[in-house]
Chains A and B, each alone.
Chain A
Amino acid sequence: MSSTSHSALPQALASEGLPAHVEVRPLRHPGPTNTEPKAVRIAIITLALAFLALCIALPVVSVFYEAFKRGWLAYVTALAEPDALSAIRLTLLVAAISVIANVTFGLIAAWAIAKFEFPGRSLLITLIDLPFSVSPVVAGLVYVLLFGSQGLFAAYLQAWDIKIIFALPGIVLATLFVTFPFVARELIPLMQEQGTAEEEAAVSLGASGLSTFFRVTLPNVKWALLYGVLLCNARAMGEFGAVSVVSGHVRGLTNTMPLHIEILYNEYQFVASFAVASLLALLALVTLVAKTLLEARLAEDAS
């Protein structure tokens, strides 16, 4: 015993020093194992690629093809048209409000669900998922039934001269409904996995509740939050069904981009219609790239 105890100190320090250089990361993608014959593999891959090309790539390409069919000038003219500009502005405004509101509520809901036990917790988890399972048209209809001219609150709204349906508030409400799960759903599993130990450490070191939130909780989920914002934004800008029901389709006033595209298309203004559609397609592509970049970062939150 005595001979080992002399050497134990430097040895222990050295053995501790060694693994420091090795960054421990879970293997996310174990290499594929090839057990199928080559012909089968090629057939399967071809089939998958053909399906993707036909159903995903072709439509995207055709959107841009149709938009630029008459050249740059027609494209720019279609976008510079006042009704188109108004639709773009409205879409951006609605998306901005939805993102801000969903970040706020999503964070609060996720925080409450992940870090505390309270009665009604599982009900809240179920409710957050509701927009995923309800048709957006139904969601829009609910708001019409509540706030429309024949609706439940019609008398109060008229008395105070508040317009919700066929106006901005209705569009925002409908968009909020369909986009609510995106932020909360991203945060809840991550926050649950991270637990409350770091928050406890923070308060034991003298941090206030707010300080703990901004210095510990929020930075720990920042990539997941950004990911949720990205998905929420994409959905908010692209939402058709729910917004269609509550918007009233007033040109230059309550038409968002998807609604505007439909109207133009129905009026046989294909170039104009596809020009606006190309913007949404572009948004989708940007979202896709950002999503891919973010996914690499998400692993950082979890580690």
Chain B
Amino acid sequence: MSIDILNVTKRFKTFTALDAVNLHIPGGQLVALLGPSGSGKTTLLRIIAGLDWPDSGEVRFDGQDALARSVRERNVGFVFQHYALFRHMNVFENVAFGLRVRKGADKLPEAAIREKVNQLLSLVQIDWLADRRPNQLSGGQRQRVALARALAISPRILLLDEPFGALDAKVRKELRRWLRNLHEELPVTSVLVTHDQEEALELADTVVVMGKGRIEQVGSPQEVYDAPATAFVHDFIGESLSLPARVSGGRLHVGAGETALDPQGVEDGPVRILARPHDVDFAEPDAAPVRGRVLAVRTFGPTRRADIVLGDGDIVEAAVPPGIHPAVGAQIGLVPRRYRVFPTA
């Protein structure tokens, strides 16, 4: 089932959570809404679910108005950030809940409910926990219960709010792969909210990068990493080495000197040069467009990082290429090999 967000705006008192957001989510995809806290991603998810209402704009499921329907009529599976399992029910009853509250013609006989719940519990691999209470489960197990409960109503849309946020790193990685497989098996469109870029890039078909209530970029994981559309996306995804600079007369100036770097069509004014740390080479100070003094060199595993203070006092972190051993206090030159130039807002 496809989801269309048309011009959706949502304000909380004076804070604008969503500012005229437009987004098309094709059916069957797994989409990640990625952004820092306060970027509006959870608000957008709750509006799709029907747990919040936009001040203006439209939400359409397969082209049909979804805002006309309440949460309980939308048949959307929602996995809550802290799972929100029913604490007084055991795992089986938690999963059965969505089937038990059905009324009239939709109501399933007890035997059918049992069969379906048992199927779901096996699907999420926790059938041996059916009699446990939520407070007797580990975080990963609760996560699976929450997912099974959401899937019980056979949703066409599955919404997940920071699904792995409360888990430790190892369980998180494992569950991530498992969720991806589950998504492939089921006829659902999944939307996942996360602030963890690794999670979004590894898991999603499409990544929607959000900042301050706006969508900054929509693209495949590869696109948002390799070709960030804005300085915000470049900063937020992956590591960035940021050099303050300025364009004047069509030339790029760093510090006092003019450089041979390409201003990439950006108009005159203050700019930032953004590059991935491993896309910046070290060179002799006189031969490089950017010069600085090495403050410290740190080693973690196979990579080494150097803190370099530039002429005007800014400190940048650069990846030290293999075979080069910069001395602390030495002058060094930096040559951005691949970089993007963005006007400073």
A220 lies within 8 A of B88 (CB): yes
Tell me if A200 counts as interface (CB < 8 A to partner B): yes
Q: Which residues of B contact A8 (CB under 8 A)?
A: 170, 173-174
Tell me if B76 counts as interface (CB < 8 A to partner A): yes
B170 lies within 8 A of A12 (CB): yes
Tell me if B232 counts as interface (CB < 8 A to partner A): no
Indicate which residue in B80, B82, B86, B98 contacts A206 across the interface (CB closer than 8 Å).
Answer: B98
Interface residues of A in 253-298 (CB under 8 A from B): none
Residue of A nearest to B50 (CB): A204
Tell me if A219 counts as interface (CB < 8 A to partner B): yes
- With A and B bound together, what is the CA distance between A197 and B101 in angstroms? 18
Q: Which residues of A contact B85 (CB under 8 A)?
A: 198, 201
A24 lies within 8 A of B135 (CB): yes
Tell me if B78 counts as interface (CB < 8 A to partner A): yes
Q: Which residues of B contact A211 (CB under 8 A)?
A: 101
Beyond A23-B135, A200-B84, A215-B97, is A206–B153 a contact (Cβ under 8 Å)? yes
Q: How many residues from A make CB contacts under 8 Å with B?
A: 31
Q: Which residues of A contact B152 (CB under 8 A)?
A: 205
Beyond A16-B138, A204-B78, is A219–B149 a contact (Cβ under 8 Å)? no
B183 shortest CB reach to chain A, Å: 18
Tell me if A203 counts as interface (CB < 8 A to partner B): yes
Tell me if B171 counts as interface (CB < 8 A to partner A): yes
Tell me if B132 counts as interface (CB < 8 A to partner A): yes
Beyond A16-B141, A20-B141, is A198–B76 a contact (Cβ under 8 Å)? no
B87 lies within 8 A of A303 (CB): yes
B71 lies within 8 A of A9 (CB): no
A202 lies within 8 A of B137 (CB): no
Q: Which residues of A contact B174 (CB under 8 A)?
A: 8-9, 12-13
Tell me if B102 counts as interface (CB < 8 A to partner A): yes
B102 lies within 8 A of A216 (CB): no
- With A and B bound together, what is the CA distance between A19 and B85 in angstroms? 18
B173 lies within 8 A of A198 (CB): no
B101 lies within 8 A of A215 (CB): yes
- With A and B bound together, what is the CA distance between A112 and B84 in angstroms? 20
B98 shortest CB reach to chain A, Å: 4
Beyond A12-B170, A203-B71, A220-B88, is A20–B132 a contact (Cβ under 8 Å)? yes
Tell me if B299 counts as interface (CB < 8 A to partner A): no
Tell me if A167 counts as interface (CB < 8 A to partner B): no
Interface residues of A in 11-64 (CB under 8 A from B): 11-13, 15-16, 18-20, 23-24
- With A and B bound together, what is the CA distance between A18 and B82 in angstroms? 21
B153 lies within 8 A of A205 (CB): yes
Cβ proximity bits A110-122 to B, threshold 8 Å, 1 near / 0 not: 0000000000000
Beyond A16-B171, A20-B141, is A303–B135 a contact (Cβ under 8 Å)? yes
Tell me if A97 counts as interface (CB < 8 A to partner B): no
Besides A19-B138, A215-B101, 17 new A-B residue pairs in contact (Cβ under 8 A), listed by A number: A12-B170, A12-B173, A13-B174, A15-B171, A23-B135, A24-B135, A197-B82, A201-B80, A201-B84, A202-B86, A203-B72, A205-B153, A207-B97, A207-B101, A215-B97, A222-B88, A300-B88
Instruction: List chain A positions with a Cβ less than 8 A from chain B.
Output: 8-9, 11-13, 15-16, 18-20, 23-24, 197-198, 200-208, 211, 215-216, 219-220, 222, 300, 303
* 5 closest Cβ pairs, A-B complex: A205-B98, A197-B84, A12-B174, A207-B101, A201-B84
